[in-house]
Amino acid sequence: MKVLKLVYKNLLRHKLRTALTVLGIAVAVMAFGLLRTVVTAWYAGVESSSVNRLVTRHAVSFIFPLPIADQDQIAKVPGITDITHFTWFQGVYIDDQQFFPRVAVDPEKIFAIYPEFLITPEELAVFKKERNSCVIGEKTALKYNLKIGDMMSVRGDIYPGEWQFIVRGIYKPKDKATDATQMFFHYAYLDERMRQEAPSRAGQVGWYVMTVDNPDHAAEISAAVDALFANSRAETKTETEKAFQQSFVSLSGTIITSLKFISYVIIGIILLVLANTIVMTARERIREYAVLKVLGFTSFHISGLIFGESLFIAMLGGVTGIGLTFPVCRGFGEAMSSFFPLFNVEPSTIALSLVFSVSVGVIAAMYPAVKSVQTKIVDGLRQIG
C-alpha cells in the first residue's frame, strides 16, 4: 500500500509533464486505432462476400470487357442456378471529388442475386419499367439528399456524354457489412446509346456474377466456365466472390502494407515518449531512492515505484486514446463513406491498443528501474539534482 501511495504522489509532482506525456500517448494510440481501422475497413468487403456467388471476368484483367453473348453459355454450366452481369460506368456526379460506385446492371436479376440489397416491390417494379431509372443505396441518398423522383446528371468518362438518371428506388442494407453506397441503372440504357455512338463497344459487359447450388463445388464450376472460353479472344477467369474482392484489395497492397508499417511505427513513438519521461523522472529521484533503501525499501519496492508510475501513465494515455478513437473513426468513416461503406473500430484494434499500452509501459521502465536498483546507496546520496 505504501508503494501505491508513493506512486500516486510521484505522478502529481510534475503535473504538466505527466499530463503532456499522457496526452502524447493518447494521440499516438488514437492514430494507431484509426490506421488499424482503415486497414480492417479495406478488407471488410472481402469478409462479407457470399460463399455461393462466383464471378467471371476477363482472364487478362478486370478492365477488359466480355461479350454479353457469353451469358447464355455460362448459364448452362451444371451447378449454376442464376446469372447476371455488371458493367462499371463510374462517370462524374457533381464534381470529381464525389465518388460512389455507379454500375450498369440487369434490373431483372440484380436484386434476386443480391438479396442483401433490400428494396420494396413497388420501387423495384418501377425501376424495371423505366429505361433511364436508377436505384441508389441508402447512404448515398442521405449524403446527397436524394429522394424518389429526383434527377441525377452524370458526366461520362469511361462512356462519354451527359447521362440523365431518375431515382426510382433506394435500397437499404441487410446488415452493417452490406455496401449501401452503390448506384444501379439499366444496362440496356447504356448499350442502346453505345450502339448509336460507339458500335464497337456495344454488346459488352464488365463481368458476370453467378449463384451456385453448392459452394463446395465452386472450383469445379469455375473450371467448367473457363473451359468454355479457352483459346478464345476473350478467355475468362472465374473465382469466388471473396477472391474477386481480394483482387481489388491486392491492387492497393502497397498502401495497406504502408499503413500497417506506420501503425507499428506509432507504437515506437509511444515508447520513446514514455521512456524519455520515465528516464528523466528516475534520474531526478536517484537520491530519494537511495534514502528509501536506507529506510529498508528493497529493490523490489524501488522497481515497483518506477514500473507503477510508467504503467499508470501508459494505461491512462492508452485508455484516453481508445476513448478518442471512437469519435475520430466515426467522423472519418462518415467523411469517407463512399470509399469505406463499413468503417467500425474492431475489438481486435482495441485489444491491440491495450496490449501495446501495457507493453510500452513495461519496456519504458526497464532501463531506469535496473539503473536505479544497481546504483549504490553512497553513490545515490552523492547525486545532486
Residues 129 and 266 in one domain: no
Q: Which residues pair with 353 in a beta bridge?
A: none
Residues 214 and 77 in one domain: yes
C-alpha 71/C-alpha 210 separation (Å) is: 10
Between β-strands 183-186 and 102-105, what pairing exists: parallel, antiparallel or unpaired? Answer: parallel
C-alpha 72/C-alpha 106 separation (Å) is: 14
Residues 18 and 138 in one domain: no
Mean pLDDT, residues 287-300 taken together: 73
pLDDT tens-digit series, residues 108-152: 999 999 999 999 999 999 999 999 999 999 989 998 999 999 999
Residues 84 and 131 in one domain: yes
Residues 34 and 95 in one domain: no
Residues 215 and 329 in one domain: no
Residues 73 and 24 in one domain: no
Residue 276 in any domain: the answer is yes
Residues 277 and 322 in one domain: yes
Between β-strands 117-118 and 183-186, what pairing exists: parallel, antiparallel or unpaired? Answer: unpaired
Residues 213 and 106 in one domain: yes
Residues 229 and 156 in one domain: yes
Residue 223 in any domain: the answer is yes
Residue 267 in any domain: the answer is yes
Angle at 277 between CA 286 and CA 376, to 5 degrees: 20
Residue 49 in any domain: the answer is no
Residue 271 DSSP SS3:
helix
Cβ(34)–Cβ(353) below 8 Å = no
Q: Which residues pair with 25 in a beta bridge?
A: none
Residues 114 and 171 in one domain: yes
C-alpha 186/C-alpha 84 separation (Å) is: 12
Residue 266 in any domain: the answer is yes
pLDDT tens-digit series, residues 307-354: 877 888 888 888 999 999 999 888 887 776 666 667 788 888 899 888
Residues 208 and 269 in one domain: no
Q: Which residues pair with 134 in a beta bridge?
A: 167, 185
pLDDT at 250: 58
Residue 337 in any domain: the answer is yes
Taking the complete model, does pTM exceed 0.85, yes or no?
no
C-alpha 118/C-alpha 137 separation (Å) is: 9
Q: What is the mean pLDDT of the chain?
A: 84
Does the pLDDT of residue 292 top 90, yes or no? no
pLDDT tens-digit series, residues 184-237: 999 999 999 999 998 888 899 999 999 999 988 999 999 999 999 998 888 999
Residue where one domain finishes, among candidates 204, 233, 262 = 233
By mean pLDDT, which of 10-19, 71-80, 291-300, 373-382 is the weakest?
Answer: 373-382
Residue 296 in any domain: the answer is yes
Residue where one domain finishes, among candidates 233, 262, 285 = 233
Q: How many domains does the chain have?
A: 2
Residue 57 in any domain: the answer is no
Which structural domain range is residue 153 located in?
65-233
